Amino acid sequence: MSILVNNDTRLIVQGLTGREGKFHASQMLDYGTNIVAGVTPGKGGQEVLGVPVFNSVAEAKAATNANASIIYVPARFAGDAILEATQAGIDLVICITEGLPVLDMITVKAFVDQSNTRLIGPNCPGLISPGQAKVGIMPGNIHQPGKVGVVSRSGTLTYEAVFALSHRGIGQSSVVGIGGDPIIGTKFVDVLALFEADPETEAIVMIGEIGGTDEEVAAAFIKNHVTKPVVGFIAGQTAPPGKRMGHAGAIISGGKGTAAEKIKALEAAGVPVASHPEEIAELIAARL
């Protein structure tokens, strides 16, 4: 079992004809992901990597009955691409693109929240259910099918944690990168609820970082609603205040959003917090 993506995922790639889109689509196809269509306005009728290209998401959905879409279009068009997929009635939209203006995202998120679409990202690596479907930019080969769910605001830091888990023979049910922006479609609590409800997930890894209060909200949620063991990690204990640490959302502002506060909240909820990334796998191994 898994959450969000699986063997039934029928994926559209928005931006399939671009360099990034084409590269990652070929990686996803190699992994076995069922890519049914590409979308690039003005390039409908072409075929890329054996996948038919359409002018719009609505056309692609009508022709292929797609249920998910992944977005690789440049930042200035990405907000529009999310809205298009949402309006076409796609169930799950994943936006990989980094650098969307935050005011665009506020409007986009408000619109998506009124629909039945779930948005993952933006500025995220995507998600994978090992052995079933890879919908993102993560290296597929480091993952193993298994029973640990992983949710994270980061990219390579997540790969690091997954690599350490797989190295110990601990597989993953699904790994979800929710993104490093201040306004994101799906938050920790949403994914924690899905893992809690997934019968095959037996333990959860939650990787947070400085900025915002989503980790604190997640800690309260875990305390009240999650029965499975959760292991945490928070990046940015040495980050200075007022500086944006790579991710648009990773900033301590007005004294809020520090790693210390987040670690305290998680520990108060009974979640052990690893002191460095490799310890995540040790803590999980002790709880399976």
Partner 1 sequence: MKLHEYQAKRIFAQYGVPIPEGDVATTPEEARAIAERIGGPVVVKAQVLVGGRGKAGGVKLAKTPAEAEERARDILGMDIKGLTVKKVLIDPAADIQDEIYLGMVIDRARQRVVMMASAEGGVEIEEVAATNPDAIKKIVIDPFLGMKSYQAIGVASSIGLDKSQFRSFSKIATGLYNAYQGSDAELAEINPLVVQGDGSLLAVDGKMVLDDNGLFRHPELAEKRDVDEEDPAETTARLADLSYIKLDGEIGCMVNGAGLAMATMDIVKFYGGSPANFLDIGGGADAEKVATALGIILSDPNVKAVLVNIFGGITRCDEVAKGLLKAIDEVKPDVPFVIRLVGTNDVEGREIMAAANFPTATTLAEAAQMAVAAAKGEVNS
Cite the active site residues. Answer: 247
User: Other C-beta atoms within 10 Å of 142: how many?
Assistant: 18
**Element holding 23 (H helix, E strand):** helix 19-31
Provide the minimum distance between the beta carbon of 212 and partner 1 in the complex, in angstroms, as a whole number: 5
Q: Does 169 contact partner 1 by CB under 8 A?
A: no
Q: Quote the least distance from Cβ 253 to partner 1, whole Å.
A: 9
Based on the shown chain and the rule CB under 8 A, indicate whether residue 237 belongs to the binding site for partner 1: yes
Residue 21 contacts partner 1 per CB under 8 A:
no
Subset of 172-191 contacting partner 1 (CB under 8 A): 180, 182-183
Please tell me whether residue 77 binds partner 1 under the rule CB under 8 A: no
Question: Could you give the C-alpha distances from 230 to 148, 163, 203, 281, in angstroms and in order?
Answer: 10, 18, 6, 12
Alpha-carbon span 211 to 228, nearest angstrom: 26
Residue 8 CB, nearest approach to partner 1 (Å): 25
Applying CB under 8 A, does 138 fall inside the site for partner 1?
yes
Q: Given the rule CB under 8 A, which of 101-109, 143-151, 168-176, 188-196 is the region that contacts partner 1?
A: 101-109
Q: Please, which residue, 82 or 259, has the CB nearer to partner 1?
A: 259
| 27 interacts with partner 1 by CB under 8 A | yes
157 binds partner 1 (CB under 8 A): yes
Angle 18-37-10 (CA atoms, 0-180°, nearest 5)?
125
- Give whole-number Cα distances, 133 to 53, 88, 175, in Å: 21, 22, 11
CA distance 178 to 256: 21
